Amino acid sequence: MLKGIAASEGIGIGKVVCIRPQKITYEQRPVIGVHKEMDRLHGAVEEFVRKTNELADKMEKSVNPKEARIIRGHVTMMSDPIMVSQMDELIKKDNKCAEAAAETVLDMFGNMFRSADDELTRQRATDVEDIKARLLKILIGIEDINLKDLPAGSVIVTEDLTPSMTAELDKENVAAIVTEKGGMTSHSAILSRALEIPAVLSVMGAMGTLKDGSNVIVDGIHGEVINEPTMDQNEQYRKAGVEYIEEKRQLQAFTGRDTVTADGVAKQVFCNIGNPKDGIVARDKDGEGVGLFRTEFLFMDRDSMPGEDEQFEAYKKVCDTLPGKTVIIRTLDVGGDKEIPYMNLVKEDNPFLGFRAVRYCLKNKKSYRLQLRALIRANQAAGGNLWIMVPMVASADEIIKVKQLIKEICQEEDLPEPKTGTMIETPAACMMADVLAEHCDFFSIGTNDLTQYIMAADRGNSDVAYLYNTYDPAVLRALKMIISAGKQAGIPVGMCGEAAADPMLIPILISFGLEEFSVSPTSVLKTRREISRWTVAEADKITDKVMRLETASEVRKYLEEVRK
Amino acid sequence: MVTKTIKVTNSQGFHMRPATVFVNEMAKFSSDVKIIFNGTEVNGKSLMNLIAACIKFGAEIELRCDGDDEEAALAKAVELISSGLGEE
């Protein structure tokens, strides 16, 4: 069995079709007519631009616009007049042929990009490689590999898929894809997911081991490739493949549906996201809103604080992606395990109990006001569905101060006040939930931190990991307390920790009266299905029993028994 | 020749898209456009050279325009950079 990266889910069984990389070779020959050679180069550049634009047009329709944009970028790079004149110079001065001139100049840029000190520029080196290969093929006269006429049941085995190879790929004939290179964000991965073809990437030595025409199983769920499987394996994987498709079909049936319990009580399934682009994923995976947008990404991997306009654009973008839907944005949660160098946070012995999140923000009011102003402006610009969530609140005093800041900014700017709520994740906030509720428009429970604070067990320390358990009756009692306090005050209560997507906990959360479950985009449909399986009466019965249990292991055991 | 020193204020610096905006606009002028950054001279009309120069957010650069329409070219370059190079 070969191992690789599970880049596109599903199981494919078929026959290997090896696609070997094309050899791009040419002879260095002296140039007879300099102008003729330059014309040849310019002709090839024109041809490149024409073909690449065609390719981008096709990809816009068949794969996705983002991929097409990358390809359009190749046109822009190739159209750099200065670069082409550098190639001309080599033909004129060094008497190089067009191929050698193009290769020399593109290699030079490739090396410059590769040695750059930032990641974005280094990534562009891959584009330069791709451009070089395609331009040379045009000059030499090698046809691009085209995968449009594969026999049915083909398992493509290749070094790496390039956009030009796949633009006309017929997905009906491709059972699976195996490559030797590429990760989760490579072209091969994006393409196979968009076309829903099972794929395992970065399989070392795939081209050597898997022979043309041999039978192969590709398990894109676990990242495994089985060469020449036995009859038993074939049967086993065929079944697993059918089950996977059946599960997917069942989940598909929940797309576009309202989230309701079996007896018709309305709930909502939102998404947790980490950057504006994830908003698109949340929308595509049928999230009914965003329950947690972490803003840290905007502040990380840079040398200074992002400006107000940059933040405004990022916040507005998410709201615009999900028009009319609630988008809950958490203000900066710096500190704890999240370090941002330019903020000059001092190393602490106990960072999780230290200077983090709202504690930092209220001491650095200038930058906090900037973030709040960007949020307030984005709320107004995007139609008023942006909610501000304050993390790590331990005292009502903190939420009162934040609300005062928001009020001041709204008065200065003459803008409406967005809904403002607390992320409940400290034991103090839990004990004071009834008081906090008076000052908040909503609650969202962050179970990851809440669990570690209630149990006083560092979630990163394996020696105390046994204590870190959301099934612990102490944590369940806290959840009940928080949700009851919110309901008492008439404000909505959601949950944005991992517990919200745990099928075993869903009946308990239904019984407590949780309204909004915020989960990772890939868990939306599963969570909606799980909620639909329970009536409130059934959930109450189970919860009644659970709340009388004494330990986490008893709770887990019982929930496993009654799980649907 | 006219020159001006300016700070790059858009978050991505001279990356793919902002640099494309810049070279496309500069191509409309006949003057030479040079950017001096970290002691090296970069051709301001070449996308590839601009990307390779790795000019990031916060960098201080000197613009040098030389030719018949140098004043207009410099004014446009300054306007583009100070308005964030078309970044959203």
Test mutation, A82, A105, A108, A321, chain B, max B CBs within 10 A? A82
The three-class DSSP label of residue B61 is strand
Q: Which of B29, B41, B43 is nearest to B73 (CA)?
A: B29
Mean pLDDT taken over chain A: 92
Identify the closest residue of chain B to A113 by CA–CA distance.
Answer: B52
Does B6 lie at the interface with A, CB-CB under 8 angstroms? no
pLDDT of residue A406: 98
Using one digit for the tens of pLDDT, what is the confidence trace for B7-16?
Answer: 998 877 888 8
Domains and CATH numbers, chain B: 2-82 (3.30.1340.10)
pLDDT of residue A531: 97
Angle (deg, nearest 10), helices A65-78 and A34-62: 170
Q: Residue written as tokens 């793919």?
A: B16
pLDDT beyond 70 at A290: yes
Q: Cα dihedral angle (B60, B66, B68, B73), rounded to 10 degrees?
A: -10
Q: Cα dihedral angle (A178, A180, A184, A185), rounded to 10 degrees?
A: -110
Using one digit for the tens of pLDDT, what is the confidence trace for A461-500?
Answer: 888 888 999 999 999 999 999 999 999 999 999 999 889 9
Q: How far is B33 from chain A (nearest CA, A)?
A: 12
**B-proximal residues of A, 81-120, CB under 8 Å:** 81-83, 109, 112-113, 116-118, 120
The three-class DSSP label of residue A339 is coil
DSSP A229: -
**Direct distance between the N- and C-terminal alpha carbons of chain A, in angstroms, rounded to an integer:** 35
Q: Are A430 and A450 in contact (CB under 8 A)?
A: yes
pLDDT of residue A424: 98
pLDDT of residue A124: 84
Q: Residue written as tokens 């009536």?
A: A535
Q: Are A166 and A70 in contact (CB under 8 A)?
A: no
Q: How far is A129 from chain B (nearest CA, A)?
A: 13
Identify all chain A residues contacting B58, using CB atoms and an 8 Å cutoff.
303-304
Identify the closest residue of chain A to B15 by CA–CA distance.
Answer: A121
Highest mean pLDDT among A55-64, A148-157, A501-510: A501-510
pLDDT band at A132 (very low <50, low <70, confident <90, very high): very high
| Residues of B designated catalytic | 15
pLDDT beyond 70 at B87: no
Using one digit for the tens of pLDDT, what is the confidence trace for A362-419?
Answer: 999 999 999 999 999 999 999 999 999 999 999 999 999 999 999 999 999 999 999 9
pLDDT beyond 90 at A119: no
Contact assignment for B47 to A302 by CB distance below 8 Å: no
Instruction: Tell me the sheet residues that pair with B23.
Output: none
Domains and CATH numbers, chain A: 2-21+146-252 (3.50.30.10), 34-140 (1.10.274.10), 259-562 (3.20.20.60)
Q: Which of B52, B59, B63, B46 is nearest to B15 (CA)?
A: B52
CA distance B42 to B45: 9
Side by side, the strands of the sheet bearing B40-43 are B2-7, B60-66, B32-37, B40-43
The three-class DSSP label of residue A461 is coil
Q: How far is A300 from chain B (nearest CA, A)?
A: 12
pLDDT of residue A489: 97
Q: Residue written as tokens 């750099």?
A: A80
ipTM: 0.89
Contact assignment for B51 to A313 by CB distance below 8 Å: no
Identify all chain A residues contacting B51, using CB atoms and an 8 Å cutoff.
113, 121, 124
pLDDT beyond 60 at B88: no
